[in-house]
Amino acid sequence: MSAWVHAILVAVLLLDLLLSVTSRLSVLIRGFALQAVGIAALALLLGGSQSPHAWIVAGGTLALKAAAIPYFLNRAAQRTNARRELEPLVSYGISLLLAALGVLLAFGLATRLPLEARRAGFLIAAAAFATMITGLLLLVTRTKALTEVVGYLVLENGIFLFGLTLLNRMPLLVEMGILLDVFVGVFVMGIVVYNIHRTFDHIDVSALTTLKEDEP
Amino acid sequence: MILTALVASPFLLGVLAWVLPGRTARRVVFMAAGLVQAVLAAHVILNPPAPEWGGALGADALGQIFLGIVTLLFALGAVYTFGYMGLHRHPRRRYYVPTMLFFLGSMTLAVLSRHLGLFWVALEATTLSSATLIFFDRSERSLEAAWKYLILCSVGIALALAGTFFLALAIPPGAEGSLQLDHLMAVAPQMAPGWVKTAFLFLLVGYGTKMGLAPMHTWLPDAHSEAPSPVSALLSGALLNCAFLGILRAFQVTNAAGLGDFARRPLLVLGFVSMATAAAFLIRQPDYKRLLAYSSVEHMGILAVGMGLGGGPAAYGALLHALNHSLAKALLFFTAGAVFLLYHSKAVAGVSGLARRAPFVAVLFTAGFLSITGTPPFGLFVSEFTILLAALAGGHTWLSALYLLLLAVAFTAMGVAFLGMIFGEPSEPPAQEVKGWHAVLVLAPPAVLAAASLVLGLYLPERLTVLLKSAALLLGGQG
């Protein structure tokens, strides 16, 4: 394991902590995208730069998770006027504490599970678990629809990171399928969020006309 | 070649339907897709072909059963959609036919895939394609339902992906192996047991969410009741089974690793929790489509119980039950669509005197009710009884008693609701007439299903029993 791999994994762990404390949607989206860049780099470092398989996975991750999904999420955020998560179920202090505990738990899990060091590095498993826990934390404690989408994406980042240790056991078709599913998933979720926003606006408008009819 | 064609044709026809202008053209494509699917699937089931895609795509006995269910329900659903959309004042949406076809394609891929990674991709694709069908009428309620469905099922299925990866990690180092089922089964005895157990639990919770096992079922009543009736029938009758197949695949590997007993316990627990939760919510349920949705939770629980009991007869009973439940539930959702057209209300209290207003619909609704509650001579009686006998033979006296009690509660709760809807005075004039050739298309599919459900209760064709037995054998049941 090279120093680069370690540096990237530490960066992924730090991004987990950042994601758990930020209230700004744009920071959340950027944090997720940066994690995806890290995962793409790891795919190359772990899969070997000679392997076309690793290049395709890295390229797909970059194109979909670091570019297309953030772009789409930002557009959805603009259209629905969602900039900040104002009413999280727990305060950001507690959120940071939980995320830190999550990192500890992840390291604990990584040591306890019978993981063979040669096949899946200890630090990769720890970073993957920590990212999965952060994603679940975002899903459980945030209330805005788009923040939950990011939570799902972070959870999926963790799982995909874990999957990188299996690069040689997974056919390319399946990995591309996973990426495509996630991308289409975000697309469909974005459509639903947009429609929720629009429908509720419609409801406001119709409520106004009812009041008008009632007045005289 | 034929398996590839079976998987590819819905997607290709879906693209075609998307490109073609005009409603008539799309409808023709839709019917053609149902026909192509029926012909190809019948061919695959009658003459099982060799696996394709390097063994990742194949039709084993389990795949054949579930392929049959998906195909039958889709073909009938295509006919039904014609009539239903003709009568219903749903907004017309261009994406309906293409999305339905993508949904069919992903379900077909799921039932035929023998690679756990590919299966995951297919099952997630079913969530995405069906979500857009749930918020078809863009009402507030349907949007909320679609949102819950998307986020809960996506997260659940993400956990199943983690479970799939754990299973790959359990492969002993140096051993040849991928996530293909045959490879996994071959190396299963040498797998690290800790990883296999963790993987099974993740897969069970993940696919269990999609299957609607309590306590992960909370999205199901919303999604299945808000979707248009033809979609509800496919969601309840076909899609839940696809998720069940995911659990069965995980069980196959776990069982081959010698951990079958470990896997059975959580299945049994989730099964009974689902049956109990559903029974509690069936009592005085005010919405009849939600009533049917909770009944799906109950029957998914029965499937989990059947698998959890272990042994050949119980597994056989569970698979037969999956088939019977699909027939009966699709029958009920199809008929519920007709009832909705007659009364324009989904409330149990909003429907009365169905027997006088529309006798044929009432007959179908009654048949559906008797069938879904496992009343003889319908098919579900046979499968529920098979599972009960297996439980008694296994010495689970208390579990058998609990099983019977929960079935009785469900029967009573549904009985009260159905009696109130079928008998009594029809109140106002009908909200809408259901007649003409549209009505024939709406009522013929449930009539076919009612007949099928009745036949399976009286006589099991030998071909079917052989198929079910060999599928039970795949799940580790001897004899």
pLDDT at site A209: 33
Question: For A41-77, b where at least 16 C-beta lie within 10 A, e where not — what string?
Answer: bbbbbbbeeeeebbbbbbebbbebbbeebbebbbebb
Chain A interface disruption, residue of B106, B165, B209, most A CBs within 10 A: B165
Q: Give me the residue spans of the domains in chain B.
A: 2-474
B23-46 and B61-87 are packed helices; what angle lies between their axes, rounded to 10 degrees? 160
What domain count does chain A have? Answer: 1
User: What sign does the dihedral B411-B412-B413-B416 (CA atoms) show?
Assistant: positive
A24 φ, ψ (degrees, to nearest 5): -85, 130
d(CA B204, CA B213): 10
Burial bucket for residue B175 (CB in 10 Å: 0-12, 13-18, 19+): exposed
Interface of B with A (CB under 8 A): 56, 115, 117-118, 120-121, 124-125, 127-128, 131-132, 135, 138-140, 143-144, 146-147, 150-151, 154-155, 158, 161-162, 165, 168-169, 171, 173, 177-179, 192, 194-195, 198
How close A92 gets to chain B, by Cα (Å)?
A: 23
Cβ separation A118–B173 shorter than 8 A: yes
Question: A140 and chain B: CB distance < 8 Å anywhere?
Answer: no
B235 to A181, A187, B126, B404: CA distances (angstroms): 19, 21, 10, 27
pLDDT at site B305: 95
Q: pTM (2 decimals)?
A: 0.91
B198 contacts in A (CB within 8 Å)?
113
pLDDT at site A175: 80
d(CA A159, CA A181): 14
Do B198 and A113 touch, CB atoms closer than 8 A? yes
Chain A interface disruption, residue of B57, B102, B106, B128, most A CBs within 10 A: B128
Which of A113, A120, A196 is the closest to B194 by Cβ? A113
d(CA B67, CA B38): 10
Mean pLDDT of A20-39: 90
Residue B267: both structure tokens together? 């299945």
d(CA B300, CA B210): 11
Question: A92 and chain B: CB distance < 8 Å anywhere?
Answer: no
Which structural domain, as residue segments, surrounds residue A45?
Answer: 3-214
Which of A139, A188, A199 is the closest to B138 by Cβ? A199
Cβ separation A159–B195 shorter than 8 A: no
User: Which DSSP category does B190 fall into?
Assistant: G
Do B137 and B90 touch, CB atoms closer than 8 A? yes
pLDDT tens for chain B, residues 1 to 479:
889 999 999 999 999 988 888 888 888 899 899 999 999 999 999 888 888 888 889 899 999 999 999 999 999 999 998 888 878 776 667 788 899 999 999 999 999 999 998 999 999 999 999 998 998 877 778 888 888 898 899 999 999 999 998 888 888 776 666 788 888 888 888 888 888 998 999 999 999 999 999 899 989 998 998 898 999 999 999 999 999 999 999 999 999 998 888 999 999 999 999 999 999 999 988 899 999 999 999 999 999 999 999 888 999 999 999 999 999 999 999 999 999 988 888 888 888 888 888 889 999 999 999 999 999 889 999 999 999 999 999 888 999 999 999 999 999 999 999 999 998 887 777 667 777 788 888 999 999 999 999 999 998 999 999 999 999 988 876 53
Please say if the pLDDT value at position A210 is more than 90: no
Chain A interface disruption, residue of B102, B161, B178, B181, most A CBs within 10 A: B161
Indicate if ipTM > 0.95: no
d(CA B310, CA B170): 24
Cβ separation A166–B169 shorter than 8 A: yes
Which of A169, A199, A200 is the closest to B179 by Cβ? A169
pLDDT at site A86: 63
**CB–CB contacts below 8 A, A to B:** 107
Mean pLDDT of A43-61: 84
pLDDT at site B146: 87
Do B87 and B442 touch, CB atoms closer than 8 A? yes
Helix (H, G, I), strand (E, B) or coil at B180: strand
Better-predicted residue by pLDDT, B220 or A215 = B220
Q: Can you tell me which residue has the tokens 């272990």?
A: B310
Question: For B287-303, b where at least 16 C-beta lie within 10 A, e where not — what string?
Answer: bbbbbbbbbbbbbbbbb
A193 contacts in B (CB within 8 Å)?
147
